[in-house]
Amino acid sequence: MPETPPPGQNGPHGASVLPRVRVDSYNLELRSKDGFIGDRASKRAFAEILEDWREKFRRIDDDPLGDEKDISKKKLDETLINGDPEAAGVVHGAIEDFAQEFAAVTRRFLRTKDWSDTQKIAVGGGFRNSRIGEVAIGRAVVLLKADGIAVDLVPIKHHPDEAGLIGAVQLLPSWALSGHDGLLAVDIGGTNIRAGIVLTQLAKAADLSASKVWKSDLWRHRDDTPTRDEAIARMNKMLQKLLDAAQAEKLKIAPVIGIGCPGVIEADGTIDRGGQNLPGGNWEGEKFNLPSEIVKSIPTIGDHDTHVIMHNDAVVQGLSQVPFMSDVERWGVLTIGTGLGNARFTNIAARTAEKDGKDKAKGEKGNGDKAKKKKKDKEKEKV
Higher per-residue confidence, 372 vs 199: 199
Residues of the chain with CATH 3.30.420.40: 166-320
Rounded mean pLDDT of 249-278? Answer: 92
Q: Is the pLDDT of residue 358 over 90?
A: no
Q: Which of 194-208, 221-235, 361-375 has the lowest mean pLDDT?
A: 361-375
The torsion angle over the Cα atoms of residues 77, 82, 88 and 92, rounded to 10 degrees, is: 50
Question: Do you know the residue count of the chain?
Answer: 383
CB atoms within 10 A of CB 14: 26
Q: Is the pLDDT of residue 281 over 50?
A: yes
Residue 176's pLDDT is what? 84
- Which stretches of the chain are DSSP H helices? 43-58, 73-82, 85-110, 131-146, 160-166, 174-177, 228-248, 290-297, 313-319, 348-382
Rounded mean pLDDT of 70-85? Answer: 92
Phi, psi of 163 (to 5 degrees): -60, -40
Residue 353's pLDDT is what? 42
**CATH superfamily assigned to domain 166-320:** ATPase, nucleotide binding domain (3.30.420.40)
Residue type, 320: S
Q: Is the pLDDT of residue 360 over 60?
A: no
**Which burial class, exposed, middle or buried, applies to 146 when counting CB atoms under 10 A from its CB (0-12, 13-18, 19+)?**
exposed
Q: Output the CA–CA distances (angstroms, integers) from residue 63 to 89, 170, 235, 261, in the order listed.
A: 12, 47, 41, 39
Higher per-residue confidence, 181 vs 161: 181
Rounded mean pLDDT of 182-204? Answer: 94
Q: List the one residue out of 10, 11, 30 whose CA is nearest residue 1.
A: 11
CATH-assigned architecture of domain 31-155: 2-Layer Sandwich (3.30)
Measured distance CA(330)–CA(326) in Å, rounded: 10
Q: What percentage of the chain reaches a pLDDT higher than 90?
A: 67
Instruction: Assess contact for 38 and 32: CB atoms under 8 A.
Output: no
Which tens digit of pLDDT belongs to each residue from 4-49? 544 444 667 999 999 999 999 999 888 877 777 888 888 889 999 9
Q: How many CA atoms lie within 13 A of 249 on its CB side?
A: 14
**Which burial class, exposed, middle or buried, applies to 148 when counting CB atoms under 10 A from its CB (0-12, 13-18, 19+)?**
exposed
Rounded mean pLDDT of 282-296? Answer: 91
Cis geometry, peptide bond prior to residue 226 (ω within 30 degrees of 0) = no
Residue 128's pLDDT is what? 84
Query: Per-residue confidence at 85, pLDDT binned at 50, 70, 90?
Result: very high
Residue 365's pLDDT is what? 54
Residue 380's pLDDT is what? 52
Residue 277's pLDDT is what? 83
Residue 362's pLDDT is what? 57
Q: What DSSP line would sit under 110-172, residue for residue?
A: HTSSTTTT--EEEEESGGGSSHHHHHHHHHHHHHHHHTT---EEEE-SS-HHHHHHHGGGGGS
Residue 323's pLDDT is what? 95
Averaged pLDDT score across all residues of the chain? 88
CB atoms within 10 A of CB 39: 16
Phi, psi of 374 (to 5 degrees): -65, -40
Instruction: Assess contact for 189 and 219: CB atoms under 8 A.
Output: no
Rounded mean pLDDT of 226-247? Answer: 95
Residues 6+ apart with CB under 8 A from 159: 129
Rounded mean pLDDT of 357-369? Answer: 53
Q: Is the pLDDT of residue 162 over 90?
A: yes
The torsion angle over the Cα atoms of residues 115, 118, 120 and 123, rounded to 10 degrees, is: 0
Residue 194's pLDDT is what? 96
Q: Output the CA–CA distances (angstroms, integers) from residue 303 to 84, 177, 255, 292, 295, in the order listed.
A: 60, 15, 8, 19, 14
Residue 357's pLDDT is what? 45
Rounded mean pLDDT of 65-69? Answer: 90
Q: Is the pLDDT of residue 280 over 60?
A: yes
Residue type, 40: R
The DSSP code for 207 is: T
